[in-house]
Structure 1
Amino acid sequence: MRVLICPDKFAGTLSAPEVAAAVIAGWHDTAPGDQAIARPLADGGPGFVEVLAGAVAGRRLAVPTVDPLGRPAQGEILVTDPDDGGVPTAYVESAQACGLHLLSEDERDPKITTSYGLGLLIAAAVESGARRVVIGLGGSATNDAGAGLLAALGAAPIDEIGHALPYGGAVLGSASALAGAPRLREVELVAATDVDNPLTGLHGASNVYGPQKGASREDVFLLDSALEVFAGVLERELPTCPPDLATLPGAGAAGGLGAAILALGGRCESGIALVTDMIGLAAALDEADLVITGEGSFDHQSLRGKVVAGIAGAARDRGLPCVVLAGRVSTGRREAAAAGVTEAYSLVDHFGGEEHGGVEQAMTRPAEGLRAVSARLAGQWSR
């Protein structure tokens, strides 16, 4: 039996490759003769570079950067040098510098967090000789519409008397201009994201994602207004910026990082489509008998453009059963089935449910739980 294992990360506990390894180990505990193929996935968020590095030939370069509060952090970029005449490309992961996971609960404050560290990673990608830079967006702690990113590239936002603005999204209501031109050497920028939110408004970055980054209701109003002002500055200052930037689909991705990339003349592409194409997922699906995917929380958002939804839909189109393994499952059975999910299993339930400490166990022993659930699945599904 050919079992295709293509999970996303379990946020806060395991990377996608670690999830896949645990599932394969469990399956082979019960059915050692089956062929288990790992194709770990990412949609542009945390794990983007790691997943691609396991699938394509390239150099992983360590890059010193800073976290959302400006503290030293370590990042890396993946640089490919195609020998078939293709474009030298660098892959960058915004979460390595802007990630919410880099901050403790009491440090989360999108009024002051910055994307400056991502700008440092992009600058390193440009200096590596790449002619295209693909930036995975997702899991950010920032809401500054890429103001910090631009500052790191030489185009810091300034107020009306020419003073550079502090870090964060809250001060962007005072932005009047940019202090210089971005140093990009005509490199092509691509934002890898499956978020289509605009920058501002009811469905914008601040309203939809601000609260999970620590924004209060008052903060959301302040940030939304500030980003609207900053969008106008970008339209005036950057010749590459498209009109009506604040309303464009994808501009609100990762706290408005999408807007900065669009303003720099870049474009948005589906992160999950890019990754699945690069790892050859379609061919693997064509040869599979069963598909196993998963993520930390399988909920209503999972079926709206996330990794699990894409995998389940592709399996359904091929008539394949698709099983979801997750830390927690809150999606209804009927809704999941409509999306192509055959069965869904929760680590919280495996460890006895919420009333018996299942949540804590799922967070502290996820690999052990995945291995046990996968072994049980093999007993049910293996020929």
Structure 2
Amino acid sequence: MKVVIAPDGFGQTLTASQAAAAIADGMGTRAELVQAPMSDGGPGFIDALRRSVQGARVIDVATVGPFGEQATGQVLLDGDGRGYVESAQAAGLHLTERRDPSWASSYGVGTLMLAAVEGGARVLIVGLGGSATNDGGAGLLAALGIVAYDEAGVALAPGALPLLGVDRVAGTAALRASRVIAATDVDNPLCGPDGASAVFGPQKGASPDDVRLLDTALRRWGEVLDRDRPVRESVLQAAGAGAAGGMGAALFALRAHRRSGFEMVADAAGLAEEIAGASLVVTGEGSFDEQSVRGKVAGGVARLAQDAGVPCVVVAGRVGLGRRQAAAYGIDGTYSLVEHAGERRAIDESAEVLREVSERIAREWAR
């Protein structure tokens, strides 16, 4: 029996690599175990790729976090001129206890992009997801040299709320003609009921009143980007512009193309080939719900398993989909850490609880 273990990270408790190792420990030696930690472009993007990208070279980069605090990110460079950046390493929710998307900035992500270019990248692949920000990538662009100004010609302060007063953007991105790819499976637009502020703002600490202001600010930002940096498709209309607090919009203003972050990681790892020869696939993440099957890792892994005719189970901190709903997406079983051990222990002892649940999966599926 061969089991492919391909989870995403479990929120802020376990990285994808840690989750894969805990699942493997729980599965024991009953089967051949293949660990393939995954990412959809959010946290863990670099870690998942460095296992698989040929000629990978990782460099540490001094940058700043969402509120200007010192941070260290990593850039992955391959031997073919590609540089990979993980936005969460400079703008991630896990970097700060402060929940204030009105003032969080993506500036540090631009710093990582510049480091990749300095390292020789001719193609910049920016993984989007897990951000504490809602600034539409204004900070990212400022770090590259494209600055937002108010009506008086004063450069805007960092954050999302100052975008309410944005009048124009000016400058040239210091990217040395590098092409940009936005790696994300999120297809949310920049604004509106499915936009960055409404869907992801509350997860970052935004109140209903905050969401309304933030959405207004991003709409103004999108209008200015469309006017001053026009591209083929309006950033206000582009699918994925709302990814990572609107960083997708900033990348599209740099003429970026969007690619599936999950597919990039899965292709590099040869996940489809591994699954084709497996008896069981185990995936997982912090919270398994409707969003999980519409562009996140668990849904992507389940699709590959379904295509190969291999059973797939999901283990998650919380499970929000019923059995029939999950089955419709090719998922043969779901397992909840909270249901197994209670909320407090599921958070405080995540790795141990995940091992226990994986022992149960091994017993049930061995039959």
- TM-score w.r.t. the length of structure 1 is 0.92
The aligned runs of 1:120-131 (5 Å cut-off) are 120-131=111-122
Aligned to 2:47, the other structure's residue is in SS state helix
Aligned to 1:61, the other structure's residue is in SS state strand
Relative to structure 1, the CA distance from residue 221 to residue 377 in structure 2 (aligned partners, 3 Å threshold; closer, same or farther) is: closer
Equivalent residue letter for 1:143: N
Equivalent residue letter for 1:273: E
TM-superposition CA deviations, 1:262-299 (whole Å, max 9, x none): 00111111111111111101100111111111111122
Supply the distance in 2 between the matched residues of 1:377 and 1:195 (Cα, whole angstroms).
30
Supply the distance in 1 between the matched residues of 2:95 and 2:161 (Cα, whole angstroms).
20
Aligned to 2:236, the other structure's residue is in SS state helix
How far has the Cα of 1:187 moved from its partner? 0.4
The aligned runs of 1:100-249 (5 Å cut-off) are 100-104=93-97, 107-238=98-229, 241-249=231-239
Relative to structure 1, the CA distance from residue 33 to residue 109 in structure 2 (aligned partners, 3 Å threshold; closer, same or farther) is: closer
Tell me the equivalent position of 2:18: 18
1:34 correspondence with 2:10: no
Supply the distance in 1 between the matched residues of 2:307 and 2:89 (Cα, whole angstroms).
34
- TM-score w.r.t. the length of structure 2 is 0.96
Tell me the equivalent position of 1:70: 68
TM-superposition CA deviations, 1:125-163 (whole Å, max 9, x none): 111110001000001111111100011011111112221
Please, which runs of 5 or more residues in structure 1 have no aligned partner? 83-87, 352-357
Size of the alignment, in residue pairs? 366
How far has the Cα of 1:376 moved from its partner? 2.6
TM-superposition CA deviations, 1:331-361 (whole Å, max 9, x none): 111101111111111112222xxxxxx1110
Tell me the equivalent position of 2:45: 48
Tell me the equivalent position of 2:362: 378
RMSD value over aligned CA atoms? 1.4
Supply the distance in 2 between the matched residues of 1:249 and 1:124 (Cα, whole angstroms).
27
Equivalent residue letter for 1:79: L
Supply the distance in 1 between the matched residues of 2:33 and 2:300 (Cα, whole angstroms).
20
Q: Is the 8 A contact 1:6 1:292 kept in 2?
A: yes
Aligned to 1:190, the other structure's residue is in SS state strand
Supply the distance in 1 between the matched residues of 2:196 and 2:26 (Cα, whole angstroms).
40
Please, which runs of 5 or more residues in structure 2 have no aligned partner? none
Supply the distance in 1 between the matched residues of 2:354 and 2:326 (Cα, whole angstroms).
20
The aligned runs of 1:262-341 (5 Å cut-off) are 262-341=252-331
Q: Percent identity?
A: 52
Equivalent residue letter for 1:4: V
Work out which of the residue numbers 330, 333, 337 in structure 2 matches 1:343.
333
How far has the Cα of 1:207 moved from its partner? 1.6
Q: Is the 8 A contact 1:235 1:242 kept in 2?
A: no
